[in-house]
Chains A and B, each alone.
Chain A
């Protein structure tokens, strides 16, 4: 039990703006008393809180009385100082740890959080159940607004092409979208779309088999969810900068895969082509044309989204060309009629919706 003593103090009682000048007395057993010629107040030491520092002064508050302010000189006798709440600069945690230590701990925790956030797509993506992915895809694009072309002959040809590059029991769904862009996408939920623009410029069904195989590769290797998560993470980081209305379709079309993912999808496509005895030279020809048309700089053609995020076209053409057996005897993957049915599919489908830029 400390000795009782008193010092000069000023205070406001919180009920009005009148300043009281008098004495603060410590009763030696956990209580303070304030006495001025016109006012008297007493309260428990446990009720007192540190408020702030002013030049030469410290301000204390009371937990039970929000408007109460006690102003004491900065230098109070050590005996009294021991009864007063400690000064606080930053807030509880940092005051306890010290600025340097707290900053170091926060820094490490933040670096760990950033690392987790940045790598999450890679390890989380493949672990998301396929059923969830299908639901997400369903919610995002549905039936693509009726923009998928269908004719009986074209559907049959596409099914045949798909069966060659996707031997799995449960096939991905493939379609040709009525969009005049040289592009192809793998949507969340195992749906692969070739854009009509790409189909129109294809010179052989083997080209389409190569591109389709590549997109199926993205689905089978679970790249789509990874890319989706990465984009989602980016949009969180950019917080709203990326929330325009037209983003959905273009966002999907330009959704970036890593180069490694692209290589995996290419390898998948080449393996399927080999299994089904389809010439990889068609795909090689496609990439050579792309390389001539858009140059070999992978980043240059901003609009050719499918190409932009891919390894350089020339390099890829070579990889496909190397995969061809010398003097290999490849059977054509589609008959000329079937290929023609694919090409005319969008033109002949009476119900298909036009794609326009809103």
Chain B
């Protein structure tokens, strides 16, 4: 029947064709409705935003489609509240009652147990959010998903994260890439599974910056503070020296935080290039081309947008981030449309409530 699409040498496979003025006509009513419903409309607002963003994103020759509903996100939230929120509330009540009765150790142990449970659920939530998003994303009528419930991934998430931090955090890159591989390898689109084999080695160099940087930054900062003192002395003697010193130390602190933030961005930029580049689906190879500078621009403009609109710019961040993601995502390879049949994975009837509750992104 229909032939294959050869993407070799063509334009980007993923194209974003949205327009922020169009998006504003969705985002502002969403904001209004979210306010007047005390936040309950949030779930429907999210759905409307995604429907717009997906429908303006083209993969090869057909737009993506968001097929999720606000109601299922709402139900997901209610489910999390009933299944986890209320028990957690009860547990903290019991813990406090134990402490009030003098069983401090039991009370603290119980609270600690609750924290462990949250840690586990966080992992499950990350898995299920990705699964939900894939199962509600359609391209040419076909969707993705996973038959895995994510409970096993929750355990992996716990132990890999712990092991990652134990040797002074040196295994964090390994735990991050390994969890990415584990999560994506259990996902599929249509009849075919994703494969991911990202390697920690690729991002380890960037990660080492975290260890090296404090020394470099500190040395640089001390020099700056010293120069500030000297400059201050030149201008106003002893008093000037004190003022210069204080300014220098302020500069040091600022320098330190900005420096660390920059390293974090550099690491994440590299991390996403590595893990997306190591993810495949059938004959498609993905890549994510955003450089550290691209990320910095994204974040700086985000911040400026929010500050100069007194916070209203917040409603455009999801648009900016999706556009960033789509613009830098690439795919190479070929798809046989005939063999891309419908996904047989089970779908949950509720949305990503758990992740919503923990307020983390899916990807």
| Distance in Å: Cβ of B156 to nearest Cβ of chain A | 26
B286 interface contact, C-beta 8 A: no
| Distance in Å: Cβ of A165 to nearest Cβ of chain B | 26
Q: Which B residue sits closest to A53, measured CB to CB? A: B55
With A90-B44, A103-B36, A246-B99: A17-B65 Cβ-Cβ less than 8 Å? no
Q: Which residue in B65, B102, B190 is a CB contact (below 8 Å) of A69? A: B65
Asked if B97 and A139 sit within 8 Å, CB to CB, the answer is yes
Interface string of B49-82 (1 = CB under 8 A from A): 0010001000000110101001000000000000
Q: Which B residue sits closest to A240, measured CB to CB? A: B88
A86 interface contact, C-beta 8 A: no
Q: Please, how many angstroms separate the alpha-carbon atoms of A247 and B99 in the complex?
A: 10
Asked if A69 and B100 sit within 8 Å, CB to CB, the answer is no
Q: Please, how many angstroms separate the alpha-carbon atoms of A326 and B207 in the complex?
A: 80
Chain B, interface size: which category? 35 or more
Q: List A residues 233-263 near B (Cβ within 8 Å).
A: 240, 243, 245-249
Which A residues are in CB contact (< 8 Å) with B51? 52
Asked if B55 and A248 sit within 8 Å, CB to CB, the answer is no
Which B residues are in CB contact (< 8 Å) with A142? 97, 100-101
Interface string of A99-111 (1 = CB under 8 A from B): 1001110110010
Q: Which residue in A14, A90, A94, A114 is a CB contact (below 8 Å) of B141? A: A14
B96 interface contact, C-beta 8 A: yes
Q: List A residues 9-26 near B (Cβ within 8 Å).
A: 12-19
Q: Please, how many angstroms separate the alpha-carbon atoms of A358 and B104 in the complex?
A: 7
Asked if B337 and A17 sit within 8 Å, CB to CB, the answer is yes
B342 interface contact, C-beta 8 A: yes
Q: Which A residue sits closest to B48, measured CB to CB? A: A90
Q: Which B residue sits closest to A14, measured CB to CB? A: B141
Which candidate, A143-151, A195-203, A330-338, is the interface stretch facing chain B? A143-151
| Distance in Å: Cβ of B353 to nearest Cβ of chain A | 15
Asked if A17 and B142 sit within 8 Å, CB to CB, the answer is yes
Q: Please, how many angstroms separate the alpha-carbon atoms of A69 and B342 in the complex?
A: 13
Number of interface residues, chain A, beta carbon within 8 A:
51
Q: Please, how many angstroms separate the alpha-carbon atoms of A107 and B342 in the complex?
A: 43
Asked if B102 and A16 sit within 8 Å, CB to CB, the answer is no
| Distance in Å: Cβ of B8 to nearest Cβ of chain A | 19
With A18-B337, A90-B29, A103-B32: A13-B141 Cβ-Cβ less than 8 Å? yes
Q: Which residue in B55, B96, B339 is a CB contact (below 8 Å) of A247? A: B96
Q: Which B residue sits closest to A142, measured CB to CB? A: B101
Asked if A69 and B141 sit within 8 Å, CB to CB, the answer is yes
Interface string of B317-341 (1 = CB under 8 A from A): 0000000000000000001011111
| Distance in Å: Cβ of A327 to nearest Cβ of chain B | 47
Q: List B residues 15-32 near A (Cβ within 8 Å).
A: 17, 29, 32
Q: Which B residue sits closest to A19, measured CB to CB? A: B140
With A16-B337, A54-B63: A141-B101 Cβ-Cβ less than 8 Å? yes
A91 interface contact, C-beta 8 A: yes
Which A residues are in CB contact (< 8 Å) with B342? 14-16, 67
| Distance in Å: Cβ of A316 to nearest Cβ of chain B | 30
B212 interface contact, C-beta 8 A: no
A306 interface contact, C-beta 8 A: no
Asked if B340 and A16 sit within 8 Å, CB to CB, the answer is yes
Asked if A248 and B97 sit within 8 Å, CB to CB, the answer is yes
Which A residues are in CB contact (< 8 Å) with B139? 17
Q: Which A residue sits closest to B340, measured CB to CB? A: A17
A140 interface contact, C-beta 8 A: yes
B92 interface contact, C-beta 8 A: yes
Which 5 residue pairs spanning A and B have beta carbons closest together? A145-B102, A12-B141, A248-B96, A17-B340, A17-B140
Chain A positions near chain B (C-beta within 8 angstroms): 12-19, 38, 51-55, 59, 61, 66-69, 89-91, 94, 99, 102-104, 106-107, 110, 113-114, 139-147, 240, 243, 245-249, 353, 358
Chain B positions near chain A (C-beta within 8 angstroms): 1-2, 17, 29, 32-33, 36-38, 41, 44, 48, 51, 55, 62-63, 65, 67, 70, 88-89, 92-93, 95-97, 99-104, 107-108, 111, 138-143, 190, 335, 337-342
